[in-house]
Amino acid sequence: MITLYPQLILDALTHVRYPGTGKNIVEAGMVDDNIRIDGMKVSFSLVFEKPTDPFLKSVIKSAEAAIKTYVDKDVEIEGNIDVKTIKTARPEPEKFLPQVMNIIGISSGKGGVGKSTIASNLAVSLVKLGYRVGLLDADIFGPSIPKMFHIEDARPYGIQKDGRDMVVPVEKYGVKVLSIGFFVNPEQATVWRGGMASNALKQLIADADWGPLDYFLIDLPPGTSDIHLTIVQTLALTGAVVVSTPQAVALADAKKGINMFTNDKVNVPILGLVENMSWFTPAELPENKYYIFGREGCKKLADEMNVPLLGQIPIVQSICESGDNGEPVSLDENTITGKAFLSLAASMVRQVDKRNVEHAPTQRVIVH
């Protein structure tokens, strides 16, 4: 049996032309980015300027036929194409998130260093400090934030606001959360080209009702990719936080990540480094520290790159267990790790405040 994925559907739809312009419906931007696939069942929306478009029914029929012809005759598509009409256009990129004060990218040079764990617990700790916080899971191909907040089954609902269709983020532990994981089958790999992933990410940013926020954290994919470029081209980032472990191989990749943000084409300030898995502390011996992955590697890199070391997070079993159970360890600020994350959040806030003072003319203003 053929395995269906969104690009296969899009490729088939390029054979369908809109009679009004002669362009294919993909080129004309008439295919909504949210293509839903469940086994052999495919559903999506076609966008028309008005519900009375004279070509509406014929274009839908042609789309159904194209998918049957160019994908597979057994695809369940009849009756699964709905229609959207253009209401109010999405705002220009420079007007995205007008009610957000600070936008922070949480990045790592490589996978496996606990970046999403840091992002989740940092968001919760900021809430504990009294800030309004949003968290966007921008790891399109490996979303993990829903699991860390125990909201894998959440399905964000839509509202009409200012003439636009908007998605309402899921709120948990005081953090507003959105992830592509809410909209795709968690059992199947997300096989998208870079353009599709970038468009999906823009929708999560621009077509969501985030409301007024003090901090908007973006959990970026590991490494460097189209997603990073989309973010820096779409949003005015306040700065980036780079996560690493003390290992030499992780530090080498972290250094590349810092260079990516600070080069002339990207030019995003580095707020600081976070050293994760700094040492192992057994629960029964809270005063003991065992440096499994090396000692103070991030501190040395921070000194070398002239950036602040925002915090060091130790390894304790509860971090992994809490993440798997969907209860961030930072919920309890009386634990070793809870205190470490609260200190990290406070350190990052100080760096953001310092930068905003230095760049007062371009400071974002929050609108209530």
Architecture of domain 6-85 in this structure: 2-Layer Sandwich (3.30)
Q: What is the pLDDT of residue 248?
A: 83
Mean pLDDT computed over 224-250: 84
Nearest to 218 by CA among 203, 240, 186: 240
Report the amino acid identity of residue 125.
Answer: S
Is the model's pLDDT at 90 over the cut of 80? Answer: no
Mean pLDDT computed over 194-219: 86
Contact 210, 91 (CB under 8 A): no
Q: What is the pLDDT of residue 274?
A: 94
pLDDT in tens, 338-358: 899 999 999 999 999 998 887
Mean pLDDT computed over 87-109: 76
Band (pLDDT 50/70/90 cuts) for residue 364 is: very low
Question: What 8-state DSSP symbol labels residue 43?
Answer: E
Rounded to whole angstroms, how far apart are CA atoms 192 and 11? 12
Architecture of domain 94-362 in this structure: 3-Layer(aba) Sandwich (3.40)
Three-state DSSP class for 305?
A: helix
Is the model's pLDDT at 185 over the cut of 80? Answer: no
Contact 271, 258 (CB under 8 A): no
Structure tokens at 76: 């369940």
Nearest to 4 by CA among 79, 66, 76, 64: 76
Contact 244, 275 (CB under 8 A): yes
Of residues 264 and 366, more confidence is placed in 264
pLDDT in tens, 274-319: 999 988 877 777 778 888 888 888 888 989 989 999 999 988 766 6
First and final CA of the chain: distance in angstroms? Answer: 53
Rounded to whole angstroms, how far apart are CA atoms 37 and 5? 7
Q: What is the pLDDT of residue 294?
A: 83
Q: What is the pLDDT of residue 186?
A: 65
In sequence order, what E strands does the chain have?
A: 36-38, 41-48, 81-85, 100-108, 133-137, 158-161, 164-167, 170-172, 175-179, 213-219, 239-244, 270-280, 309-315
Judged by average pLDDT, the poorest of 75-89, 94-108, 142-156, 345-359 is 75-89
Contact 5, 37 (CB under 8 A): yes
Rounded to whole angstroms, how far apart are CA atoms 110 and 73? 42
pTM above 0.75, yes or no: no
Nearest to 33 by CA among 180, 133, 175: 180
Structure tokens at 62: 């042609």
Of residues 25 and 164, more confidence is placed in 25
Is the model's pLDDT at 33 over the cut of 80? Answer: no
> HSE of 79 in the Cβ direction (CA atoms, 13 Å)?
1
For residue 316, give Cα distances in angstroms to 1, 275, 329.
45, 14, 10
What mean pLDDT, rounded, does the chain reach? 85
Band (pLDDT 50/70/90 cuts) for residue 365 is: very low
Q: What is the separation of C-alpha 150 from the centre of its chain, rounded to a whole number of angstroms?
A: 17
Rounded to whole angstroms, how far apart are CA atoms 17 and 31? 12
The number of residues making up the chain comes to 368
Band (pLDDT 50/70/90 cuts) for residue 255 is: confident
Three-state DSSP class for 72?
A: coil
Residue ranges of the domains in the chain?
A: 6-85, 94-362
Burial class of 86 by CB neighbour count within 10 A (0 to 12, 13 to 18, 19+): exposed
Is the model's pLDDT at 88 over the cut of 60? Answer: no
